[in-house]
Chain A
Amino acid sequence: MIDDEPLVTIRNLRFFRGDRVIFDGVDIDIPRGKVTAIMGPSGTGKTTLLKLIGGQLRPAAGTIQVDGERVDRLGTRDLYRLRMRMGMLFQSGALLTDIPVFENVAYPIREHTGLPESLIRKLVLLKLEAVGLRGARDLMPHELSGGMARRVALARAIALDPMMIMYDEPFTGQDPISMGVLVKLIRALNDASRLTSIVVSHDVREAAQIADYIYIISNGKVIEHGAPDAMMSSSSEWTAQFMNGLADGPVPFHFPAPGLEQDLMGES
């Protein structure tokens, strides 16, 4: 495997939800060993993109390659084999709510390896230590705060030492402290184990701070991509509006609607 070949290559991706176009010819390369941020306003299809990369959804057209394999074409068995090398951190954490933290992290290990119990215990404790929650091993998921749940989910995602982790909105709904913890953690995990990380987010500051490379998508297209510094000083009006969080600009504040006056007068 050539090292500077991208881990994920997406070409001419098209995807629909009913009649709505979500992606209309998107090209993305995710470099190996780096943190790539994919940003865009809510509802543009960032979660959808991760599900497409993970093979949970299939594109209408275009190709998605992960580590040389065509995700959009793989059969169930091969797809599951590939997923063992991918971790995904869902927005909600997606922990199994009926088993404690320890068992949640142990779950993928028990499922996919025949390791003896003593070794599983060591592995799980190491993963929990990495996210700073070794002491929380006996808690049930409902006893965790949002930030803790996300870190447990992260420990679970790295349980099988994947080649890549996808983070779906890791920063939303976090207080400043756990936000800082997560930012550090994502970076540290990426650098320590030569992971490839994809961070999907609309929190510009955190994502820009953490990323080596940024893609901005909107309205089904890649608007711009580049290194964080270049994006911050982008000449594109759109990018400038998004990166600086301005309410007004090329992206309208209003969802398309008939004129207010007309609406209020009740002439439909």
Chain B
Amino acid sequence: MLEQLARLGRIGIGSLEQLGRGHLLLLYMLAGISELFTRPRLLLNQLFSVGVLSVLIVAISGTFVGMVLGLQGYYILSQFGAEQTLGVMVAASLVRELGPVVTALLFAGRAGSALTAEIGLMKATEQLSGLEMMAVNPVKRILTPRFLAGFVAMPLLAAMFSALGVLGGYFVGVGLLGVDDGAFWSQMQTKIDLYDDVLNGVIKSLVFGFVCTWIALFQGYGSAPTSEGVSRATTRTVVHSSFAVLGLDFILTALMFGE
């Protein structure tokens, strides 16, 4: 009994310690941002590997999700004779929810896991220690550019996801199922609000980009310097990021669309 209580306590303290370490790392990473202005190349390189290399998977997924929305939406809306509002339904679900959330989940799997593995391997092969001994701060030089790149890339990827999703829905709804072309777009234009829908979606994806990249870098930087350690850290990145995204999405949605 006492034994179990002690174990529970240890787990609690351990988690708190992790949380503390995570926030310290975040502070150190943020402190390095000013130095990035003198070395924009570092950021550009990372924007490429974090952002550009995720474009394909996000684009394809966005298109298919939009097409499915078009099919399902049409099926339900047509039962009420409201298939003219298909554009609104597709766009609203994408911009408010699916765009930010699914992009973040894809991002965690594609870019987050890669970041963790990269940093973890750099640690395991003493590259980070090597930088330290060269009087180069690995957090500022290696982690900060990746962090900023993830933060910037996520909203752009989410916007692309939503845009291609709308096109996918248009293709299915108007192209295949015969919804009126003009109604599809004009309903969307009048009903989708720049602040309520679009801006809130952007805020969501900024938050997700921040959290997913942070988790990925923290897991990589804190991983045990062995092949097993790196593989575990990579798994944790995907699992923790997914939970964080879904949990935060609920909270953000409640705050934004609550009243």
Q: Which chain A residues have a beta carbon within 8 Å of chain B's beta carbons? A: 51, 54, 56, 80-81, 83-84, 86-88, 90-92, 94-97, 107-108, 111-112, 153, 156
Q: Are A81 and B135 in contact (CB under 8 A)?
A: yes
Report B25 CB to chain A, min CB distance, Å. Answer: 15
In Å, the complex CA distance between A219 and B221 comes to: 31
Residues of B within 8 A of A86 (CB): 133
- Is B129 in the interface zone, CB < 8 Å from A? yes
Given the complex of chains A and B, what is the CA–CA distance between A88 and B130 in angstroms? 8
Q: Which residues in B have their C-beta under 8 angstroms from that of A91?
A: 126
Question: What B residues does A88 contact at CB under 8 A?
Answer: 130, 133
Q: Which of B125, B134, B135, B137 has the most CB of A within 10 A?
A: B134
Q: Is B15 an interface residue (CB 8 A)?
A: no
Q: How many Å lie between the Cα of A107 and that of B135 in the bound state?
A: 11
Please, which residues of chain B bring their CB within 8 A of the CB of A90?
Answer: 126, 129-130, 133
Q: Which of A80, A96, A153, A156 contacts B135 (CB 8 A)?
A: A80
**Chain A neighbourhood of B136, CB < 8 A:** 107-108, 111
Tell me whether B181 is interfacial, beta carbon within 8 Å. no
Given contacts A83-B133, A94-B126, A107-B136, 13 further A-B contacts (CB under 8 A): A80-B135, A83-B132, A83-B135, A87-B133, A88-B133, A94-B125, A94-B127, A97-B122, A97-B125, A108-B134, A111-B135, A111-B136, A112-B135
A56-B133 in contact (CB<8A):
yes
Q: Are A56 and B129 in contact (CB-based, < 8 A)?
A: yes
CA distance A83 to B126 in the complex (A): 16
Of A80, A94, A111, A112, the residue contacting B130 (CB under 8 A) is A94
Chain B: residues with Cβ within 8 Å of the partner, total of 13
Q: Which residues of B contact A83 (CB under 8 A)?
A: 132-135
Cα of A91 to Cα of B127 in the assembled complex, Å = 11
Q: Which residues from 106 to 136 on chain B have a C-beta closer than 8 Å to any C-beta of chain A?
A: 122, 125-127, 129-136
Contact A96 B127 (CB under 8 A): yes
The CA of A191 and the CA of B137, in the complex, are separated in Å by 31
Which residue of chain B has the shortest Cβ distance to A79 in the bound complex?
B135
Which 8 A-B pairs give the minimum distances between C-beta atoms?
A94-B130, A94-B126, A83-B135, A88-B133, A80-B135, A84-B135, A108-B134, A90-B126
Contact of B134 among A92, A97, A107 (CB under 8 A): A107
Using Cβ atoms and an 8 Å threshold, which residues of chain B touch A112? 135
B224 to chain A, nearest CB (A): 14
Chain B residues, Cβ within 8 Å of A108: 134-136
Q: Which residue of A lies closest to B124 (CB)?
A: A92
Report the bound CA distance from A56 to B126 in whole Å: 12
User: Within the assembled complex, what's the spacing in Å between the Cα atoms of A156 and B134?
Assistant: 9
Bound complex: CA A130 to CA B126 (Å): 24
Q: A95 touching B127 by the CB < 8 A rule?
A: yes
Q: How far is the CA of A56 from the CA of B131 in the complex (A)?
A: 11
**Which residue, A92, A112, A153, has most C-beta atoms of chain B within 10 A?**
A92
Taking CB atoms, residues of chain A closer than 8 Å to B134 are 83, 107-108, 111, 156
Would B135 and A97 count as touching, CB distance under 8 A? no
Contacts of A80 on B, CB cut-off 8 Å?
A: 135, 137
Closest chain A residue to B136, Cβ basis:
A111
State the Cβ distance, A141 to closest chain B Cβ, in Å: 10
28 contacts between A and B (CB under 8 A): A51-B129, A54-B132, A56-B129, A56-B132, A80-B135, A80-B137, A81-B135, A83-B135, A84-B135, A86-B133, A87-B133, A88-B130, A88-B133, A90-B126, A90-B129, A90-B130, A90-B133, A92-B126, A94-B125, A94-B127, A94-B129, A96-B131, A108-B134, A108-B135, A108-B136, A112-B135, A153-B130, A156-B134
Report Cα–Cα, A131/B73, bound state, in Å.
69
